[in-house]
Amino acid sequence: MVDEVEDLRRQLREARDAAEATAHTKEAFLANMSHELRTPLTVVIGAAELLLETEHTPEQHESLEAIRRSGKLLLGLISDILDYSKIGSGKLELVAKHFDLWSALREVVDAFSSGARDKGISLELQVEGDVPRWVRADPLRIKQILMNLLSNAVRHTSEGGIRVVASTDQADESSARVRIVVEDTGSGISREVLPQLFQPFTQGKRSGPGGTGLGLAICKNLAQLMGGDLGVSSTRGVGSQFWFSLNVQLTRQSAVMRAISAPPPLDPELPPARILVAEDNVFTQVLMRRTLESMGHTVDVVGRGDEALKLTKKREYDAILLDCQMPVMDGYETARRIRQRDESTPIIAVTANAVVGDRDKCLAASMNDYVSKPFSIHDVRRVLAKWLGPTPVSEAPPSAPRATSDSHVDLERFRDVTASTRPEFAHELVAIFCLDMDHRLQELAASHARSNATEVHRLAHTIKGASANIGARRMSELAMALQEADATGEAARELIAQLGQELDRVRTVLSSEVDPTGS
């Protein structure tokens, strides 16, 4: 009996060793195959892309595109198999980084915009105001999941459109659970196919031609690795709704934004109100939210006019503040559309162009009033009291010119801006401004390199307003000059370089202001 037990143990050890050896062999084979296949494929794809840049006939272009697309497809199949193998063996590791979640989502959606446009369908992104912007997670894997879902949605939608919605399920001081939904009006999926959709090596209606059938299975596993999940609801002939969730850690910038929004004391002059702010500049968003919440109001903030329009259909607001210059849908068009079904809610323009013609343009768009950038707490309180207070208030006389402590930076302006914030957040507001401007200047340089005049002027307008708000006078002047310059010429390139130098100066001056000891 003892001999039989020992013999059984020996057989089990041998079986275990054999299984481990097989697994190691499989892993080594896959790694070697990956290297051996990826190297020539990279050469093939690269050569095709280089040839596409040369002169050739339409027939040659079609053949080269076929080579490039097929090479990319084959590379994707290899990646799918390797990813699934790593997940199955527990070898796939997430690489957490600090990054801008909003920009990551926008980058993926923008990558599919031309494909959607070619099919005549709409593609839009909606990021709810409670979604943290600066987070720590694995951006590559988040993009991988969203790209897979969007690829399927574009492929299977021939009319109507696709909408990507990001929201927050739950959050605390250090983390948040983000939920991302991809809705389409495509062909839909039958009830019989749904249970098989996330099974590996199963090609359902949502798989691409020649696919491995691993895409959705991998995405589900990736979502689970990030502490979330992936699911779907669909109706045949109506459309599908794929969603995935994940846990993210809040970085210091996001934690500050949450802390800044803590309920402050009520402003005794105004009843508490629910206010919607549409503003595409992140620094101005923080500043406007803090200013309004310091008066006791509840605030929703979005970055685009179309997002504001959607929120007004879901909720009632006591007042709406609209930045006049926003991407996709500007403040004027947003106001006109809101007025088609809401004639009474006060709509207040927030504009950096405080001239008579601009005021007339705001009124022509059915806006009630306007606040000029750079705005002060008094400016915002005055205009809200005018429209929300128990009785109309008189126009306040213009404030006296502020003293300038530096020829480039108006420190009195900065002190006025931060007067309503708790002292510990002045430093964080400077950090957020500088980080956002770094990002904007990178986008500006890239847009100039692509000769994208529209984007150069839009970014210059954004920088002008944000800089004026914080007191960076010279930066605002340079941005205004860029707005008026030939956006693709040498003068614009020089102005962009000067903006970078000026941001360094602003960073130094304001950092010294909030932390004189340099600690």
What confidence tens digit (pLDDT) does each residue in 118-162 have?
A: 888 999 888 887 888 888 998 888 988 898 899 889 988 999 999
**Under a CB-based contact definition with an 8 Å cutoff, are residues 231 and 250 in contact?**
no
Can you tell me the distance from the alpha carbon of 430 to that of 428, in angstroms, rounded to the nearest whole number?
5
**Mean of the pLDDT values across residues 181-195?**
86
Cα atoms in the Cβ-side hemisphere of radius 13 Å centred on 286: 27
29-71 residue pLDDT tens? 655 565 566 667 776 777 787 788 778 787 787 788 778 776 7
Q: Kindly tell me if the per-residue pLDDT of 462 is higher than 80.
A: yes
- pLDDT confidence tier of residue 358, bands split at 50, 70 and 90: low
Among 159-163, 341-345, 369-373, 379-383, top mean pLDDT goes to 159-163
**Under a CB-based contact definition with an 8 Å cutoff, are residues 116 and 150 in contact?**
no
Can you tell me the distance from the alpha carbon of 60 to that of 67, in angstroms, rounded to the nearest whole number?
11
**Is 144 in a helix, a strand, or coil?**
helix
Q: Which CATH architecture has domain 97-251?
A: 2-Layer Sandwich (3.30)
Give the helix/strand (H/E) hosting 145. helix 139-155
**Under a CB-based contact definition with an 8 Å cutoff, are residues 412 and 403 in contact?**
yes
Q: Which pLDDT value is given to residue 51?
A: 82
Could you tell me the residue ranges of all domains in the chain? Answer: 2-89, 97-251, 267-397, 423-514
Can you tell me the distance from the alpha carbon of 475 to that of 505, in angstroms, rounded to the nearest whole number?
10
CATH number, span 2-89: 1.10.287.130
Q: Which pLDDT value is given to residue 269?
A: 55
**Under a CB-based contact definition with an 8 Å cutoff, are residues 220 and 198 in contact?**
yes
**Is 506 in a helix, a strand, or coil?**
helix
Reported in sequence order, the residue ranges of 185-296 that DSSP labels E, i.e. its strands, are: 230-235, 239-250, 274-278
- pLDDT confidence tier of residue 392, bands split at 50, 70 and 90: very low
Q: Which pLDDT value is given to residue 499?
A: 92
User: Looking at the domain covering 423-514, what would its CATH class be?
Assistant: mainly alpha
Report the amino acid identity of residue 245: S
CA distances from 119 to 161, 162, 426 (A): 10, 12, 48
Q: Tell me the β-bridge partners of 349.
A: 322, 370
Tokens standing for 15? Answer: 């079986």
CATH number, span 267-397: 3.40.50.2300
* Poorest-pLDDT segment among 94-103, 194-203, 308-317: 194-203
Q: Which pLDDT value is given to residue 385?
A: 82
Omega cis (within 30) before 392:
no
Give the helix/strand (H/E) hosting 71. helix 58-89
Q: Which pLDDT value is given to residue 401?
A: 39
227-282 residue pLDDT tens? 999 999 988 888 999 999 999 998 755 554 444 444 444 444 567 889 999 988 77
The pTM assigned to this predicted structure is 0.43
As a whole number of Å, the CA-based R_g of the chain is 27
24-33 residue pLDDT tens? 666 556 555 6
Q: Which pLDDT value is given to residue 286?
A: 78
Give the helix/strand (H/E) hosting 126. strand 122-127
- Calculate the CA 468 to chain-centre distance: 24
Q: What is the DSSP letter of 424?
A: G
